[in-house]
């Protein structure tokens, strides 16, 4: 590019460097090999560290020994089948698949966007983008292009609509007031990391829910200001020269769609009402033995993933039956199958992550890193806020090269969480910090799988749009999100507002 800016040049270099990284699945194969070799090399060394789990000297267990290799082979299937994030995501996706297949999600989003006043277009699009996380990839393929269409129809620059939607869908990925599969998935990885140090630690699937719910308000307000005051004014230089006749249109809802949507929404209200009625009684079977609903042992909390499944399955099925998109049991199963067909790559990654987590835990390398890292942090005597901020920044940088949220957290949790636990910080707080760093830089990395797709959406309006255009457009969101969101977490922490259900800021060993 002849007139490439300094930012574009830097991004081009990042893209080249990032392309040299192996695929995430291959990366974890490589990391598994590194764990085996490193554990063998360090297995005979006395590090003069006491293992807090048993009070004895910490020993690094070689994963290349005959006993360790045969144990890994015999437990390989179990490691994968019992890896918490796998079942969580697959079960949730079965219900979401029906909601997507029937058209319920599509129609619901169109209905919400179609009744928004012009001055509320930006916050509404950002909010819908945030809510779309619940439907996994629906926001990328539906909300982002519709953001451009809606802004164009309102006489505003369509790229600003795309930017606002992208900021909500991806930049605010961890800001959501609707529980989704990402919550128990990250919780499962966090729990596995915490149990490397303390096997008794059990985390609630909604351990960050209050924080992410309130964060959604922050992200909506920030994105509203950035879009209207910073991004859109600068986009006036980008003249529209695309073939507007080929652009997707936001068709108004048809009578049969409105009818089906009303019944689907009513089914949600009825379902939630029944859940409330069945849970409110003191003798409710949803309650734990001590009578509480929010304890981790309570069947209600144990059923979060199943409830997410039903919250999408029921209205999706009702919508499909009334609208005619689902007419037979074959189509019902096809909707779930279609959702599962896109999970093959995820399962491949999870298989190798499960083996890596197992070998990493067996080797005690994570405990060694945690204890040595904690010793260093103690020597530095950094304030707690500085330590947490460092984790946010480091996560954001890693996110530029490794796009998968679960893959990154599977890599970082076994190191971050035990280390912070030894300093008295809870896994809940570590996970909240990770989510900020992970979300903030999603929108400026070309290595994010949907980044090229968003560039294509931009090119429908401005044919010269490219990676530099989209990056320059999204950079203000990324920087402001990371700074403001980090300060928000610090304020949240200082005020002592609960992060989520059964969550805390401090870790106190049993």
Q: Concatenate the DSSP letters of all residues of 139-192 into one string.
A: IIIIIHHHHHHHHHHTTS-HHHHHHHHHIIIIITTT--SS--THHHHHHHHHHH
Under 8 Å between Cβ of 96 and 135: yes
Q: What DSSP designation does 247 have?
A: S
Question: Which pLDDT does position 486 carry in this prediction?
Answer: 95
Q: How far from the centroid of its chain's Cα atoms is residue 423's Cα? A: 26
* pLDDT at res. 276: 92
Q: What is the pLDDT of residue 148?
A: 85
**What angle is formed at CA 84 by the lines to CA 81 and CA 89, rounded to 5 degrees?**
95
pLDDT for 216:
94
**Cα 404 to Cα 411: distance, rounded to the nearest angstrom:** 11
Token readout for 73 is 């082979």
The pLDDT value given to residue 235: 81
Please state, in angstroms and rounded to a whole number, the distance separating the CA atoms of residues 425 and 419.
9
| Separation of alpha carbons 354 and 79, rounded Å | 6
DSSP result, 361-404: HHHTHHHHHHHHHHHHHHHHT--HHHHHHHHHHHHHHHHTT---
Q: What span, in angstroms and rounded, lies between the C-alpha atoms of 93 and 192?
A: 22
pLDDT by 10s per residue, the chain, length 510: 444 445 445 544 543 554 465 766 787 899 899 999 999 999 988 888 777 667 788 889 999 999 999 999 999 999 998 887 777 778 877 888 898 899 887 788 678 667 777 788 899 899 988 887 665 555 676 778 878 877 887 778 999 999 999 999 888 888 888 777 678 778 888 998 898 888 888 888 888 999 999 999 999 999 999 999 888 888 877 788 776 665 545 678 889 999 999 999 999 999 999 999 999 988 899 998 888 786 667 888 788 778 878 988 999 999 999 999 999 999 999 999 988 886 777 788 789 888 988 898 899 887 787 677 656 656 676 777 888 898 888 888 877 765 567 767 877 788 788 888 888 899 999 999 999 998 898 888 765 767 777 887 888 898 877 777 888 888 889 989 999 999 999 999 999 999 998 889 998 887
């Amino acid at each position: 590019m002849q007139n490439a800016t300094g930012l574009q040049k830097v991004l081009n270099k990042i893209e080249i460097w990032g392309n040299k990284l192996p695929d995430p699945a291959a990366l974890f194969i490589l990391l598994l090999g590194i764990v085996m070799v490193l554990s063998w090399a360090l297995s005979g060394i006395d590090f003069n560290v006491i293992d807090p789990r048993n009070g004895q000297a910490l020993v690094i267990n070689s994963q290349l020994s005959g006993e360790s290799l045969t144990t890994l082979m015999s437990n390989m299937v179990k490691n994968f089948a019992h890896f918490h994030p796998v079942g969580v995501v697959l079960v949730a996706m079965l219900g979401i698949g029906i909601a997507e297949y029937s058209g319920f999600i599509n129609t619901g989003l169109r209905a919400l966007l179609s009744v928004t006043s012009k001055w509320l277009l930006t916050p509404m699009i950002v909010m819908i983008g945030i809510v779309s996380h619940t439907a996994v990839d629906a926001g990328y393929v539906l909300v982002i292009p519709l953001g451009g269409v809606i802004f164009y129809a309102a006489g505003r620059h369509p790229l600003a609509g795309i930017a606002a939607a992208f900021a909500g869908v991806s930049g605010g990925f961890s800001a959501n007031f609707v529980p989704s599969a990402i919550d128990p998935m990250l919780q499962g990885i966090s729990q596995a990391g915490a149990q490397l140090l303390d096997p008794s630690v059990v985390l609630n699937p909604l351990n960050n829910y209050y924080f992410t719910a309130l964060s959604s308000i922050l992200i909506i307000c920030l994105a509203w200001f950035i879009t209207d005051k910073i991004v859109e004014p600068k986009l006036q230089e980008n003249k529209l020269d695309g073939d507007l006749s080929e652009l997707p249109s936001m068709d108004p809802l048809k009578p049969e769609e409105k009818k089906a949507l009303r019944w689907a929404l009513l089914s949600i209200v009825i379902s939630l009402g029944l859940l409330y009625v069945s849970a409110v009684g003191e003798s409710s079977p949803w309650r734990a033995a001590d009578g509480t609903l929010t304890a981790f042992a309570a069947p209600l909390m144990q059923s979060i993933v199943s409830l997410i499944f039903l919250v999408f399955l029921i209205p999706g099925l009702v919508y499909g039956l009334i609208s005619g998109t689902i007419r037979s049991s074959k189509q019902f199963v096809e909707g779930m199958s279609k959702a599962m067909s896109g999970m093959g790559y995820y399962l491949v990654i999870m298989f190798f992550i499960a083996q890596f987590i197992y070998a990493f835990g067996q080797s005690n390398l994570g405990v060694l890193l945690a204890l040595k890292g904690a010793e260093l942090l103690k020597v530095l005597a950094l304030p707690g806020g500085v330590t947490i901020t460092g984790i946010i920044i480091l996560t954001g940088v890693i996110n530029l090269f490794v796009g998968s949220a679960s893959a990154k957290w599977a890599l970082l949790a076994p190191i971050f969480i035990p280390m912070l636990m030894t300093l008295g910080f809870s896994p809940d707080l570590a996970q909240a910090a990770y989510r900020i760093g992970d979300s903030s830089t999603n929108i400026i990395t070309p290595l994010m799988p949907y980044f090229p797709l968003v560039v294509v959406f931009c090119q429908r309006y401005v044919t010269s749009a490219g990676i530099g255009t989209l990056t320059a457009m999204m950079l203000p969101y990324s920087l402001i999100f990371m700074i403001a969101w980090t300060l928000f977490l610090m304020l949240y922490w200082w005020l002592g507002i609960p992060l989520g259900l059964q969550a805390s800021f401090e870790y106190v060993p049993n």
